[in-house]
Amino acid sequence: MSGTRFAPDRGLTSRMVATMFMIGLLYVVFVGALFVLLRGAWPLVAVIAGGIFIAQFWFSDKIATFSMGAREVTSQEYPELHGAVDRLCALADMPKPRVAVADSDVPNAFATGRNANNAVICATTGLLRRLEPEELEGVLAHELSHVAHKDVAVMTIAGFLGVMAGFLTRMGLQFGLWGGFGDRRDDRDDEGLALLVVIAVSAVVYAVSFLLTRLLSRYRELSADRSAALLTGRPSALASALTKVTGAMGAIPTRDLRQAEPFNAFYFAPAFSARQTASNLLSTHPTLEQRLDQLGRISAELGR
């Protein structure tokens, strides 16, 4: 956070440190158990998984933009979007990220990248069509706050262990179903038991990492809302953007929402209708009511 004018958030920092510590502890336990249980078969998996992790972290910006169908745009193509990002970066005293646009009617935005110098901020065409300039600046300030707080990189790392654990759980189940527990029972009892333990450990690690990332994700969204509102001095504009975006989700085809759903943790607002989001206890985002209530309190504080 040093070097920018975004309001520091010690609560977010402590939660990121705690999440990374718990994820690291889970990772050590997880890998240690696999080394013991798989009796030497795990090193190759570890090398492959480590390579995937490095690629995912190092190229996270390219992976995210490619997956969303986003493309980097110039100031000649989208002068108003670039102008808003320029003003906010000058106001926040931070490097300007690359600017991208995704051709999607889902009104949303996201930021990605391992640090401020490699960040990308992306808005969808649906968002650009629906928001007024002040509302758009509020959304962009929210996303720039994620970059400044470095929580985009933390979420990338924190989500990796859960993805790997889930993959190994499915792999173990498939192995068990397709021959892992079959012939020569006397010789394979120990292997079958070990495989069951690996599946159980993987499932537990996946569940815990899932909950940790959800808890961090909800807090980081509230933190970004607060930072954006204080930076721009217009919490009402951000509240208006939130209301428009969340309300517009109900008119988006279900197919489009499902395509966007895997990126919910990085989005400005989750790709669900307002009713679905409010009822989702494991949502990546706080409810609209919580976010509007916080912005209302900030508006009252600034008014005083």
Taking phi over 0 as left and psi of -120 to 50 as alpha, with beta for the rest, 280 belongs to: beta
State yes or no: 72 annotated in a binding site.
Answer: no
Does residue 221 have a known ligand-binding role?
yes
Residue 100, SS3? Answer: strand
Q: What is the DSSP letter of 282?
A: T
Angstrom distance (rounded) from CA 200 to CA 46 = 18
72, 135, 143, 191: which one is catalytic?
Answer: 143
| HEC-encoded secondary structure of 42-70 | HHHHHHHHHHHHHHHHHCHHHHHHHHCCE
DSSP type of residue 267: B
Q: Alpha-carbon distance 244 to 222, whole Å?
A: 18
Q: Is 135 noted as a catalytic residue in this protein?
A: no
- Contact predicate 103/80, CB 8 Å: no
Question: Is there a binding annotation on residue 146?
Answer: yes
How many whole angstroms separate alpha carbon 99 and alpha carbon 111? 10
**Alpha-carbon span 188 to 194, nearest angstrom:** 10
Q: Give per-residue burial for 260-276: e unless 16+ CB within 10 Å, then b.
A: beebbbbbbbbbbbbee
| CA–CA dist 266, 60 (Å, integer) | 12
A 10 A CB-CB count for 70 gives: 21
Say how far apart CA 143 and CA 266 lie, in whole Å.
9
Backbone φ/ψ region at 63: left (φ over 0), alpha (ψ -120 to 50), beta = alpha
Distance (Å, whole) CA 220 – CA 213: 10
Binding residues: 142, 146, 221
Active site residues: 143
Binding residues for Zn(2+): 142, 146, 221
